[in-house]
Amino acid sequence: MLSAGGYLPADVVSNDELARRYGLDTSDAWIQERTGIRQRHLAAPGESASSMGIKAAAQALERAGVDASEVDAVIVATATPDSSFPATAVRIQAGLGITRGFAFDLLAACTGFIYALSVADAMIRTGQCRTALVIGAETYSRILDWTDRTTCVLFGDGAGAVVLRAEEGESGILSSHIHADGRHGGILHVEGGPGSTGGTGLLRMAGREVFKHAVTKLASAVDEALAANSLAREDVTWLVPHQANIRIIDAMGRKLHLPRERVVVTVDRHANTSAASIPLALAEAVGEGRFKPGDLLLLEAIGGGLTWGATLLRW
Ligand code: COA
């Protein structure tokens, strides 16, 4: 992984402002205590997964010192594409002026970025591409039910991107481990969609159920990733988790015996940006120069499907 970039919409909405704006019976204290979220960024009219993804990708390329013309694969994880097709990835490819290689979207909800990393890594290893942009880009504000306080306070919009390149050496993705169990699809899903109701559909979630799955499934994915590489939790330098809830993030930090300063946390300012949350966290940490060569990064996520997974990478 050469570098990471991110983009967040300009409209920063605090918990109090959100409650006022949408007439919600909630409070800053309730939201912060249960989730750690203080604010989120919301896309402006006209902003979309592709427009934000282009900005995030441009920053990632600039930081990596890679020209867009060198990119031969664009893979975008999103549950909120601009439209059913062309894929958001193809729109981003065009927006960056890339005319070669391939581009496609992938849908695994909040685990989308881990899935996309796994796919990109496999394609690089099998020689199908050399330089890949892997992007998570989401506009969940468009699929939230703004009258449902149990879900609409939890999410935000944004995009993050990383540049992967086939290179010899110690750094890079060690392995990814992805899972799905569709029996639990009903506890976190979008009701309706282009192929059923013809509309966009709205997000529904049984929060407590999701929470229970999150803690056990993330722990098992983390154990699996470490065991596959004969590594111990003490070897992990940084936890870069999906940013859904500070209580889940803290539980994973405790499991790995990592102090808070070794866990990249953005949920307080970004809320849950679904597939964009891990690349946005990577982008922030890269911007602050937090990762050093040789650091071992552990990425993990769970989301609708259910889907879950983990990636280990050497910086
Ligand atoms: N403001 C104020 N009160 C709220 C509220 C809000 N925004 N949302 C729910 N409540 C109320 C509920 O109505 C309920 O009231 P009641 O006891 O009178 O019925 C009470 O708070 C408790 O609701 P509950 O859903 O049991 O709360 P919780 O402690 O489970 O916290 C979540 C809710 C969503 C924060 C928590 O379940 C969670 O984080 N789940 C995981 C979600 C997640 O991470 N999803 C993304 C995965 S990718």
Query: Is a pLDDT exceeding 90 seen at residue 44?
Result: yes
pLDDT score recorded for residue 170: 87
Asked whether the CA dihedral 229, 281, 123, 292 is positive or negative, the reply is negative
Q: 275 CB under 6 A from ligand 1?
A: no
Contact 301, 182 (CB under 8 A): no
pLDDT score recorded for residue 286: 98
The residue-averaged pLDDT of 51-74 equals: 98
Residues 6+ apart with CB under 8 A from 190: 79, 143, 200, 201, 202, 203, 204, 304
Query: Is a pLDDT exceeding 90 seen at residue 65?
Result: yes
Q: How many beta carbons lie within 10 A of that of residue 64, not counting itself?
A: 22
The residue whose CA has the least distance to atom 46 of ligand 1 is: 244
Q: In terms of Cα–Cα distance, which of 309, 277, 297, 48 is closest to 161?
A: 277
Q: Which 8-state DSSP code applies to residue 199?
A: S
Task: Give the class (CATH, top level) of 3-165.
Answer: alpha beta
pLDDT band at 238 (very low <50, low <70, confident <90, very high): very high
- For the chain, the structural domain boundaries read 3-165, 172-314
Q: 241 CB under 6 A from ligand 1?
A: no
pLDDT band at 13 (very low <50, low <70, confident <90, very high): very high
pTM of this structure: 0.97
Partners of 204 in beta bridges: 189
The residue-averaged pLDDT of 33-37 equals: 98
pLDDT score recorded for residue 288: 97
The rounded distance, in Å, linking the Cα atoms of 313 and 169 is 12
The 3-state DSSP class for residue 241 equals: strand
The Å distance, Cα 107 to ligand 1 centre, comes to 25
Mean pLDDT of the chain: 97
pLDDT score recorded for residue 281: 98
The rounded distance, in Å, linking the Cα atoms of 140 and 156 is 6
pLDDT score recorded for residue 141: 98
Q: Which tokens sit at 77?
A: 């994880």
Partners of 40 in beta bridges: 13
pLDDT score recorded for residue 94: 98
Query: Is a pLDDT exceeding 90 seen at residue 68?
Result: yes
The per-residue DSSP string of 53-118 comes to: HHHHHHHHHHHHT--GGG--EEEEE-SS-SSSSS-HHHHHHHHTT--SSEEEEE--GGGHHHHHHH
Equal fold, 3-165 vs 172-314: yes
Catalytic position from the list 41, 110, 129, 270: 110
Residue 229 known to be catalytic: no
Q: 34 CB under 6 A from ligand 1?
A: yes
The Å distance, Cα 74 to ligand 1 centre, comes to 36
pLDDT score recorded for residue 186: 97
Q: In terms of Cα–Cα distance, which of 120, 44, 64 is closest to 89?
A: 120
The rounded distance, in Å, linking the Cα atoms of 144 and 158 is 15
Query: Is a pLDDT exceeding 90 seen at residue 229?
Result: yes
pLDDT score recorded for residue 26: 98
The residue-averaged pLDDT of 227-251 equals: 97
pLDDT score recorded for residue 275: 98
Say which CATH topology domain 172-314 has. Peroxisomal Thiolase; Chain A, domain 1 (3.40.47)
Residue 242 known to be catalytic: yes
The Å distance, Cα 205 to ligand 1 centre, comes to 10
Contact 88, 31 (CB under 8 A): no
Catalytic position from the list 179, 184, 242, 270: 242
Q: 108 CB under 6 A from ligand 1?
A: no
Q: How many CA atoms lie within 13 A of 79 on its CB side?
A: 32
Q: How many beta carbons lie within 10 A of that of residue 196, not counting itself?
A: 10
The Å distance, Cα 150 to ligand 1 centre, comes to 5
CA dihedral 112, 116, 122, 126 (to 10 degrees): 150
Q: How many beta carbons lie within 10 A of that of residue 216, not counting itself?
A: 11
pLDDT score recorded for residue 215: 92
pLDDT > 70: percent of the chain? 100
The residue whose CA has the least distance to atom 7 of ligand 1 is: 149
pLDDT score recorded for residue 40: 98
